[in-house]
Chains A and B, each alone.
Chain A
Amino acid sequence: MNRLKNILLVVTFILISVGGYAQNYTAKAYKFYQVKQFDSAMLYIDSAVVSIDESKYSKTWQLRGVVYRNLEAKHGIKYREIALQSFLEARKVDTLNEFKLEIDSYIENLNVRYYNDAVNNVLSGNLEKAEQPYLTYKQNYWAYLDENKDFNAIDIQFYNALASAWFKRNTLVESGEKKTVYSNAIRYFGKVLAIDSTNYSANYGIGISYYNQGADVVEGMDPFSTDIEEIDRIQNESIELFKSGEPYLKKAFEINPNEKEVVEGLTGIYYSLNEDKEYEYFQQLLNKMEE
């Protein structure tokens, strides 16, 4: 909250200073900006940035950035991109790095909107569109803020959340769509494991996604039209899925042996694989956990 106040103070200071330059378009734009008439402010600031006299000032470009940033809600994400380009131009013309901190702050706070879009898409179930804004956020961060920024921890959090959201969708879709849902869950959990192979959630998530797919295949058999040869084919398919899930659940168990969900998963997998020795071991473990 304090940081927000500081930023507002900086913005106010800059804009008051802009007025001091007595640049026609910029000053007029600023007046409209002050009274929140952003569309009118945009008309003037767009003229300012093509004016040879005014476009050389960093503050002109900064004002354009904040005007367009305010117009995003009304006109769409294209205005966010223009705002970002304006802040970048503001930095470019700020050859003495006079406004570096302020401009970096503008860029960072504008860029975080991409991250927020990604998170909102996950939370609202708009999963197909969740990853792209997250990638844009990261690319912008590396390109404009810190090329050495380490995103591993955030990647793990984001991709686990996205994968989990895909996983949860399996209860909402028709059986024909489940394969896509699980494939996406496995793909995004896989991105977590590429960063940290010992991540419990991702190992469990992939394991249980395969297990559920195997069980879905079995439960999806038509009780009347599935003949003896088809049963054989379906057994091959389901066994392959159960076997695919097994190493991930075993790894999750290795990481967190006290988690009941993973013991349940392994009990289910070994039961379905007709591996009685392992099944009985995990069933007993599960029974103890439930005591």
Chain B
Amino acid sequence: MILGALILSGFSSGVSTVNAGMRDTRSIYKALFIYNFATLVDWPSEYRKGDFIIGVYGNGNSVHSELLKKYNGKAIGAQNITVKKYNSISEIKTVPHILYLTEEKSDKITSVSSKYSRKSSLLITEKEGYLNKGSIINFVIDRKKNNKQSYEISKINAKKHKLVIASKLTSLAVKVVE
């Protein structure tokens, strides 16, 4: 048609070569929430020395990878964050400040909760109704607000573990059990 016209080729496949595929946004949010929980919860004085341990109970979990990548070795107050991963309850030797039970391991909350009933460990789960089973913070999806990643809190359970939760944290929770 046109003498000497250049040809634009390969454009249709050009878009797909960049950043296609899934990016794990869920894990980023959860890891950031967990870090924020660490800053908005008060532990008893005996827990404010040594490393600040964030444990993840569950296999091959990407939240663990996020925590490890972004927070391991970093300071929170006067403590250094250590991120650990456990595949079974028996692997947990030192009481973690925070113990996040992945969705697949959340049903172990009852046994974890009883094992740490006298310890100040912030137990986080990820299944509906699990505040009733001993969890202190439970990750939920807020269906009323565009499916946002959110959380619910049991202040009763927090008190049992001698943890004090900042009002800023409770004010943005989907549900707070007093």
Contacts and interface: CB of A to CB of B under 8 A. Distances in A.
Interface of A: 3-4, 7, 108-109, 112, 115-116, 119-120, 122-123, 157-158, 160-161, 163-165, 167-168, 170-171, 200-201, 204-205, 208, 212, 214-215, 218-219, 221, 223-224, 226-229, 231-232, 235-236, 238-239, 243, 261, 264-265, 267-268, 271-275
Interface stretch (B33-41, B50-58, B87-95, B105-113): B33-41
B20 interface: yes
A223 B71 contact: yes
Contacts, number: 138
A235 B148 contact: yes
Contact of A171 (B8, B18, B147): B18
B22 to A, nearest CB: 4
A238 B3 contact: no
26 contacts: A115-B5, A115-B6, A161-B8, A170-B19, A171-B18, A201-B15, A204-B15, A212-B19, A218-B29, A226-B36, A227-B168, A231-B29, A231-B36, A235-B148, A236-B146, A236-B148, A238-B25, A239-B147, A243-B146, A261-B16, A264-B22, A271-B24, A271-B25, A271-B26, A272-B26, A274-B147
A236 B145 CA distance: 9
A271 B8 CA distance: 35
Given A235-B148, A273-B147, A208 B6 contact: no
Contact of A116 (B6, B17, B35, B36): B6
Interface in B121-178: 141, 146-149, 168-169, 172
B2 A272 contact: no
A168 B3 contact: no
Interface residues of B, number: 41
A249 to B, nearest CB: 11
B21 interface: yes
A164 B14 contact: yes
Contacts of B2: 108, 112, 115
Contacts of A272: 23, 25-26
A236 B6 CA distance: 44
Contact of B8 (A157, A204, A221, A227): A157
Contact of B3 (A4, A170, A208, A221): A4
Nearest to A120: B6
A88 to B, nearest CB: 19
Contact of A168 (B17, B23, B26): B17
